[in-house]
Structure formats: structure tokens, C-alpha cells
Structure 1
Amino acid sequence: METGTHVLMGVALGSLASLDPAIAHDPLLSRAVLIGTLAGSQAPDIDTILKLHNNAKYIRNHRGITHSIPSVILWPLLIVGVMTAVYPETDWFRVWLWTFIAVAFHVFVDIFNAYGTQALRPFTKKWIALGVVHTFDPIIFVLHLLGIGGLLLGAHPGYTFFTIYVIIAAYYVLRFRQQANIKQLVRSTIDGVTEIITVPTWRPREWHLAISTSDEFYVARIKRGRLLILDRFQKRPLPDHPVMNAAKRDENVAAFLSFSPVYRWEMNEYDDHYEVRFTDLRYRSKGYYSFVAVVQLDRNLNIVSSYTGWIFSEGRLRKKLELAPN
């Protein structure tokens, strides 16, 4: 989920903790638990700072090691360790427990969108992305706001957010049923489907799809229960070609290939350079594929310029390539 929803989830978990009488009747402990759940709900996304370095580092590492099993264990210990140095004595076991729940919950909810996480590291670096809710889901966001509104009106924090989370759990069940119906519709429409990647949008009845068969990719959209096929591409394995092999050594391209499960590629030759482009088929907006990796090489196969990331026009991409270091 995006940052705003994670913040609201931190408040929600701190409120749920009041169902424990020991926390509910100790204002100091309750405050410490809330600080812990707020910090824990944000800690795994500290890797967002990698954007300040470059997109390649961010794409390769975001929701990677900071969302891994060791990190889920270490983040609560680190947060509580800092709190003990600056906070009065309290029941640190309970603070640690709810901070741990907040960190684990952050990682757990992140697997339900199309971006996913590497939550099973160090056992596997496979991306787990269930693709049932958008990174920003307005229904989940609004339900949390309603819960906080209830707190301001004097509602019991624990029972309020317990009720909210029962509703959210039912909503997730509904989304899984929608996803299953979509996959059934795709398989009944397109022969030989081997994989369906669902990318929910913030609109509840609209989904983007990247569909694979043995020899083709389909890019499609579900809108109000109708399947609309937008593009169709032949599958082509990456060639064993000097230009392609040189392009794959580029940091931006390597980051893209480590992250994208379904993409097409183009290799073009110009008067004074080559250009290789990789396009992720999951992200299509207003006719443009917004997540790409592009590398330009001179005639000696030296990398001249490259870029990877989200871009929404060809003009902006060209400017990025011009600004990229040689």
C-alpha cells in the first residue's frame, strides 16, 4: 500500500491494542504502543530513500530486503531499542509485540497489490504479488478514515477498528472472487492461456491484465465485467546478440529484468548508435506503457545513456535519456 494507508493502519493497530485491558488502562503504555505501531507500519518502506540514488537501485531493492523475514524480526527490536532510550519505563514486551504486528502487517498487506514484495527472502527472491487491490485502494483508505472519525466522536478504539477490519477482510474476499471470475473469463475467451497477471486500478470494477500464452502476450482491460483486448504481441526470447548482451549489462536494464515478469523488447539501429528498449506489459495508461528500461549504445557497444522507471510520454523519456550520465 502507499504511505498514507500505512500510516492509517498504524493508527488502526494502535487502536486495536486497546482490546488488551493492560494497555487500555495504562495511558503511558497505550501511547508507547501507538508510537510503536506507527513506526512499525512505516519502517519497511525506509528503502524508498534509494530513489535519491537512482531508479535502478530503487527498483532492484524496494520491497526487497526491508520486507524480508529477517527484517520483520529486526525492525521491531530496533524500534523498541530506540524507544527504551528515550521513553519512560513501561511494559516493553507489549510494545514490542504490537510493533512486530505492525511491521508484519505492513509486509502482509503489500503482497496483495500488483507490485508485491520479496517477503520470503532469504529463502527465495521471488516477487509475491497477488494483484487483488490497487496500491492505493480508496475503499480501504476511506474505511480507515471512518474509523478515525469514530474515535474523534468517542467510539471505543478497539471495537471500532475490529469492526472496520472485519469489513476489510470481507472486501478482500470479494476482490479474490472478482479476480477468479476475471481469470475464468480470460481463459474462456483466449485459447492456451499460461499466465494471467491482474493489475487492479483504484476503480473497483476496472482491472488491467497482462496475459501470456505459449507464443503471445495479450494486454487487456476489464471494465464493468467486459474483457477488452488492447494489444497483442508475439513472444520473442532475448537474442544472443552483441548489442543485446551489452545492453543487459547496464544497471538500469538489469534492474528492470530483475523486477518485470512480463515484457517485450525492441532493438533498433541508427546512424551513430543502437537503442534497446524493454517495456513492462503490466502498466498501460491512456495507450502508453509507463514502465520501461531504455539503453543507448555507441557503435563500439559502449553505453551512452540509459534509463529505467515510470514515464508517461515519449518526450519525457527522451529528456531523461539526454540527462542521463554518459
Structure 2
Amino acid sequence: MDTASHLLFGVTLAGLACLEPAVVQDPSLGHAILAGTLIGSHAPDFDAVARLRGYANYVKVHRGITHSLPALLIWPLVISLPLAGIFGVWAHMLSLYVWILAAVVFHVGLDLFNVYGVQCLRPFTRRWLHLDTLCLYEPFLFGLHTFGAVIWLAVWHGAGGAYVGEMFALIYAASFFYICVRFRQRSRYIAGVRSELGLADAVCHLIPTLSWFKWQFVVESESHFYLGEIRNGRIRIEEQYGKQPYGSSSHPVVQATMTAAGVRAFLHFAQRIHVSWKAKSDGYVVEWRDVRFWHKRKLPFGVDVQLDENLNVVSDSLGWNKKAWDPPYV
């Protein structure tokens, strides 16, 4: 999810920790857990430093090893050890570790429910897993947890402080219920889309939007990609693309781009690939796109490669052709 949401959930996890009597009784432990869950809720995204070596390198690294199974255990240890020393809570080291572990696991879990996906089963597999259920930013979850954080701030020194843990327990129960409802909604719509297109065995991705009543979808058959939307339960096809081969069986113009850094990074991550090319006066332009991330009949995520007349790579550009606040939110 987005950074603001991850940090907010770090705050509310510290509030949930107030269910533990020792946290309420020992302010130092409470402060250590708050610092730890804040850091832990963002720690897997420290891979953003890979941007220093370019966006292509970032795409290869992001949501990879820092979100892996070993990282789930290593991040809490790296964070809890110095915090235990700083706040003098060595006697509660296990409790501190567990709450930071919860923050890291919750971060990776939320990323798993996003369309972008995560390599959370490394080192056993480098497969990208994504449950296509939540947007990068979920207004309901953000609003619910913001409400809890504001109430906590208001009662921090008040009589209601004793019930902070119980309040956040209800908020997290509501959050998990919301995610389950969205996941169930997704499963039902996937079945509906396959039935509508008569493609029972086709791969189908649903892309959530900020609205509960609107989803986008991508269906991949043997020969085509079908793009459409579900609005208030009604399924509509908006666009379709023919599948073009890439790799050793592709056109020489397409093959010539396979060595470009941007294309290698793109192929590391992309799953529903559409590639096209066109001739120009001074060479060729090859466009690689992941059709999962379509919006308004456009494919905003991919890599453009410029070739000269001799099929030498002149330049390549990987990224999003959209404003940050525009859909899709992945």
C-alpha cells in the first residue's frame, strides 16, 4: 500500500498493543513499541534506496528480498535490538519483537492483496503473488484507522485511555472483515467475467478501484487480452488486444530490444505482456506493456525502446505514463 497507510497502520498497531497490560503500565515500553511498529510498518519498503541506481534497478528489487520470508524475521530483530537499548526495555524484548513482527507481516500482507504483488515466498520461489483485492490506497481502511488514531490522541492522558486496546481490537476486526468482503466480491466477479466471455479456464485479473461498486478486469485467452470493467455488477468489454509473441519466436525488431536494461527489468516483473512496434524515419519504436494496468483504453505502465535502422538500442524508458494521483492505484 502507500507509505502513508503503512505508517498509519504502524501507529494503530501500537494502539492495539495496549491490550497488553505491561504496555499500559510502562510508558517506556509503549514508546518503544510505537517507534518499532512505525519503523517496522515501513521497513520492507527500504528497498526504495535501489532508485539511486535507476528506476529499472528499483523495479527489479522492489517488493522482493525485503518482503521475503527471511526478511519477516530479520527486520523485527534489526529494529527491536537498538530500540530495547534506547528505551531500556530489555525485560520486554520478546514483546517488542512480536509487535514489530506484526507490523512487518501486516505490511507484506497488505502488499500481497494489491495488484502489483510481492515476492513474499522467496527464497523458495521468485514467483510474484498478488490477490488483486485492495487498491494502493483504500479510503475505508485509511479513514477507519485515522479515526482510531485521533481518538487515541484525544484520550492519551484521559480516563478513556484504558480502553485504547479494546478500541483498536474492534478496528482491526473491522479491517479484516472488510478485506474478506472485498476478496469474496473479487472471487464472485471473476466467475461472472469468465462466464460472460465463455472462457471458463482463462486467466482473469480483477483490478480494484477506489469505488466499492467498480472493478476493472483483464482476461487472457490463447489469442487475445480482453479489457473491461464491472460497474454495479454489470460486465462490459471495453478493449481487446491480440497477443504477440516475444522472445526467440518474436519479430527481429522485438528481439533486438531484449538486451535493453529497461526490458529486462520489465520482464522480471510483468505478467500480462503486450508488445508492439512501429517503424520511424530513423529506426523503430518498440512498446512493451503490462495490460493489467490499463485505464481509459490506455496502457500506462511499460517500457519504450528506441532502435536505429540497424536494430541497435538507442535508448529505453521504463515507468508509468500517468500522474501519480491518476488510476490505476497499484
Aligned partner of 1:275 in structure 2 is 285
Higher mean alpha-carbon deviation, 159-168 vs 48-57, is at 48-57
Counterpart AA for 1:117: V
- SS of aligned partner of 1:288: coil
Q: Within 5 Å, which residues of 2 pair with 1:222-261?
A: 222-238=230-246, 239-261=249-271
- SS of aligned partner of 1:268: strand
In the alignment, structure 1 residue 133 sits paired with structure 2 residue 134: yes
CA contact (8 A) 2:60 2:265 kept: yes
What is the TM-score with the length of structure 1 in the denominator?
A: 0.91
CA contact (8 A) 2:64 2:118 kept: yes
Q: Within 5 Å, which residues of 2 pair with 1:181-196?
A: 181-193=188-200, 194-196=202-204
Unaligned runs of 5+ in 2: 324-330
Q: Within 5 Å, which residues of 2 pair with 1:1-326?
A: 1-90=1-90, 91-154=92-155, 155=160, 156-193=163-200, 194-238=202-246, 239-312=249-322
Unaligned runs of 5+ in 1: 314-326
Counterpart AA for 2:151: G
Q: State the distance in 2 between where 1:69 and 1:180 align.
A: 26
Cα deviations by residue, 1:78-128 (Å, 9 ceiling, x for unpaired): 112332453334422211111111111111111001011100001111111
Counterpart AA for 1:168: S
Q: State the distance in 1 between where 2:318 and 2:189 align.
A: 31
Give 1:200 shift: 0.6
Q: State the distance in 1 between where 2:251 and 2:223 align.
A: 21
Counterpart AA for 1:244: V
Higher mean alpha-carbon deviation, 160-169 vs 46-55, is at 46-55
CA contact (8 A) 2:190 2:205 kept: no
Q: State the distance in 2 between where 1:311 and 1:270 align.
A: 21
Give 1:248 shift: 1.0
CA contact (8 A) 2:290 2:302 kept: yes
Query: Cα RMSD (Å) of the superposition?
Result: 1.6
Q: State the distance in 2 between where 1:20 and 1:86 align.
A: 21
Give 1:218 shift: 0.2
Q: State the distance in 1 between where 2:140 and 2:320 align.
A: 25
Identity of aligned residues (%): 37
Counterpart AA for 1:163: L
- SS of aligned partner of 1:247: coil
What is the TM-score with the length of structure 2 in the denominator?
A: 0.90
Cα deviations by residue, 1:174-230 (Å, 9 ceiling, x for unpaired): 112211221122122102241111111112211111111122110111112111211
Give 1:139 shift: 0.4
CA contact (8 A) 2:256 2:311 kept: yes
Q: State the distance in 1 between where 2:141 and 2:266 align.
A: 30
Does the C-alpha gap of structure 1 residues 24 and 85 become closer, same or farther in structure 2, counting only changes over 3 Å?
A: closer
In the alignment of these two chains, the number of paired residues is: 313
Counterpart AA for 2:131: L
